[in-house]
Structure 1
Amino acid sequence: MSNATTLLTFARETLEIELAEAQRLLARLDDNFVRACELLLACSGKAVISGIGKSGHIGKKIAATLASTGTPSFFVHPAEALHGDLGMIGAGDVVIFISYSGRAKELDLILPLLAESKIPVIAITGGKESPLALGAACTLDISVEREACPMGLAPTSSGVNTLMMGDALAMALMRHRGFNAEDFARSHPGGSLGARLLNRVHHLMRTGDRLPVVNENVNVMDAMLELSRTGLGLVAVCDAGHKVVGVFTDGDLRRWLVKGHSLNDSLSQAITRPGYRLPEQWRAGEALEALHEQHISAAPVVDIDGVLVGAINLHDLHQAGVG
């Protein structure tokens, strides 16, 4: 058997074992899971995640997922908790302890202190009869019949189960709260995600002197000059009430001239009607997708009554970090 075949065989066996163990989690979503959700939904403080070793690494990820999806949370290392960080946990908090065996010695010291302070504990463990499980308000069972590690030593299948149970908890809470994309963006204001979801079209559009606009009664020459002045690639054509009746683009100008028409002709015959326009309240991400779908690079922006309030193009969106 070649090296390539051997490596692929090992990889497939690993995934097959982990997938089989993960599938068994579905049958364990019971009253304990509901109780864990209820504790976190009623929590007036924060969810405090704690675990040591590989469980700690996964615990940090679970804490981050909870925090970004509407459940304020942070990670505390059990050893650090015994040397001062226990003061970070207070009344109103809920602690989620992660330990596959449920017998980490640090937990033996911490659990009685939490019980004394009436701070509820959710256990994520494979040790259903362990001190952690027995001392917890509810236990989420992530036990496995077989680790993907051939020696049964490295926490592989159990690590995947822990991560998946954390995700199940976070997503159940998020959906129950009605946490939406805009809420998510408030936790992620930096980068393209925040730009797409928090910015509205009216935040980024061109206005004032940068807005290309002409009245529908002008001639093609006037519209061409406005095209050149603003460089947006289009001019919004409005009626007397400043409502958009169409657009005049660089392409419209070329087609008009190729057909042998004059620059002194009335613009009304040369424009694209009704032309695509963007609502001012749309999210920036929606605007970007719409421009791509329409295969255009720019569009006028209108209010609810169809009155012109601005214009925007792909460059404006990209410059704001959208896309």
Structure 2
Amino acid sequence: MEQKALHPDNLLRMAHEVVDIERDAIGALTSRLDETFVEACRLMLACEGRVIVTGMGKSGHIGGKIAATLASTGTPAFFVHPGEASHGDLGMITERDVVMALSNSGETAEMLAILPVIKRLGVGLVAMTGRPDSTLARSADVHLDVGVEQEACPLNLAPTASTTATLVMGDALAVALLDARGFQPEDFALSHPGGSLGRRLLLHVRDVMHTGERLPKIGPQQSVKQGLLVMTSGGLGMAAIVDDQDRLLGLFTDGDLRRLLDSSDFDLDSAIERVMTPDPRTCRDNILAAEAMAIMERDKINGLLVVDENRKLKGALNMHDLLRAGVA
């Protein structure tokens, strides 16, 4: 194999051609989104088991991604390699499942080898191929045409545009099913608990707020000096001023201290209610931590007090708590 000289113009020309060809391949799918697509959705929605995705080679790689997307958006699914299926993995498929088979030619030997068993099980079969007249397409309950006029490969050999079209059709199915199931962000987060997305959608203020003895609070008649001690020991840069029923009256922060130091009537022994910020910004403990972050960013504040419906103090948190929790 003779390597060509590196010409930037040629590289960019080829890149543009690839993008153009694959864009056209995706665009061609639009006219094929008809009752056949709807029937595939109905079959998968009615599935009492799981959607078993299978495909060989590049189609298999795309199939693995489609299975993962389905599983994370409310449609239980996993990938089975057709080669391994012939050697025992067909046992993973039950009569309650639906099989989604991917093959650009529709004649992949490993796929056709397991086709009789799939049909004997009586499970629903959705096929995605580039040839509606192929063996796999004709054997399927529903066939989705993902054929392309040409591959992006200049030799028209390497699966490129065809795999892109298959992937997009798989995404279209997953999203349509997501919508039909009424899938919500909270449902998505349950399958992504370890990532930042899961933390943003699952973590609530009550999970990160300071409570009990860690809660910096002080009575209105106590001195500014005592308030400073409470604020410092709490490590949140603020102290809540509450009445004898723990109802919130106001807030004293680092910013209040700076303003007090700049004023002419600075007095550490005066009652803290004289210098507190009345009616501070608060939140409830049942909101998402991400919502609390949004409040702080919008109002340009570093902390929030958490109260109940009677404005009784329940907790406190600051921006650092949210950052440590990985909410940002």
Aligned partners of 1:306 and 1:29: how far apart in 2?
54
Aligned residue in 2 for 1:19:
23
SS of structure 2 residue aligned to 1:281: coil
In 1, distance between residues paired with 2:130 and 2:249?
Answer: 67
Q: Match for residue 145 of structure 2?
A: 141
Aligned to 1:61: 65
SS in 1 for 2:278: coil
C-alpha separation between the residues in 2 aligned to 1:77 and 1:307? Answer: 58
Q: Which residue of 1 aligns with 2:288?
A: 283
- Partner of residue 222, structure 2: 218
Q: Structure 2: any 5+ residue segments left out of the alignment?
A: none
- Are 2:56 and 2:111, in contact at CA under 8 Å, matched by a contact in 1? no
Matched, 1:190 2:197: no
SS of corresponding position for 1:134: helix
- Whole-Å Cα distance in 1 between the matches of residues 35 and 243 of structure 2? 64
How much does 1:318 deviate? 2.3
Q: Does 1:308 align with 2:303?
A: no
- CA–CA distance in 1 between the matches of 2:25 and 2:113? 31
1:8 aligned residue: 12
Among residues 228, 253, 267, which one is paired with 1:262 in the alignment? Answer: 267
Identity rate, percent: 48
Cα separation, 2, equivalents of 1:214 and 1:185: 38
2:203 is aligned, of 190, 194, 199, to 199
Moved more, 83-92 or 294-303: 294-303
Distance of 1:125 and 1:270 partners within structure 2:
73
- Partner Cα distance (1:8, 1:186) in 2: 42
| Aligned with residue 232 of structure 1, among 236, 242, 259 | 236
Quick check: 1:95 aligned with 2:99? yes
Contact kept? 1:49, 1:63, Cα under 8 Å: yes
Q: Deviations over 1:135-182 (max 9, x none)?
A: 101011111112111111111111110110010000111111111111
Superposition deviation, residue 2 in structure 1: 8.3
1:272 paired residue number: 277
Q: Which runs of 5+ in 1 are unaligned?
A: none
Aligned to 2:257: 253
Letter in 2 for 1:54: K
Residues 85-111 of structure 1: per-residue CA shift (max 9 Å, x gap): 000001110000000111111222222
CA contact 2:99–2:123 (8 Å) conserved in 1? yes
Contact 2:220 2:272 in 1 (8 A): yes
Q: Does 1:320 align with 2:325?
A: yes
Q: Which residue of 2 aligns with 1:174?
A: 178
- The total of aligned residue pairs comes to 323
Which of 59, 62, 75 does residue 79 from structure 2 map onto? 75
Deviation at 1:73, TM superposition (A): 0.5
Q: Secondary structure at the match of 2:239?
A: strand
- Normalised by the size of structure 2, how large is the TM-score? 0.94
Give the match's secondary structure for 1:96. Answer: strand
Q: Indicate which of 90, 112, 116 corresponds to 2:116.
A: 112
Cα separation, 1, equivalents of 2:148 and 2:310: 61
> Bigger shift: 271-280 or 45-54?
271-280
Matched residue of 2:126: which SS?
strand
Give the distance between the partners of 1:305 and 1:185, measured in 2 at CA.
Answer: 31
Write the distance in 1 (CA, Å) between the matches of 2:145 and 2:310. Answer: 56
Structure 1 contact 52–99 (Cα < 8 Å) conserved:
yes
Structure 1 SS opposite 2:281: coil
**1:293-304 to 2 correspondence within 5 Å?**
293-304=298-309
* Counterpart residue type for residue 296 of structure 1: I
Name which of structure 1's ranges 293-302 and 15-24 shifts more when overlaid on structure 2.
293-302
Q: 1:125 Cα deviation (Å)?
A: 0.9
Amino acid at match of 1:209: E
Structure 1 distance, partners of 2:248, 2:14, is: 64
Pairwise CA RMSD: 1.6
Does residue 242 of structure 1 match 2:246?
yes
The separation in 2 between residues aligned to 1:79 and 1:113, in whole angstroms, is 14
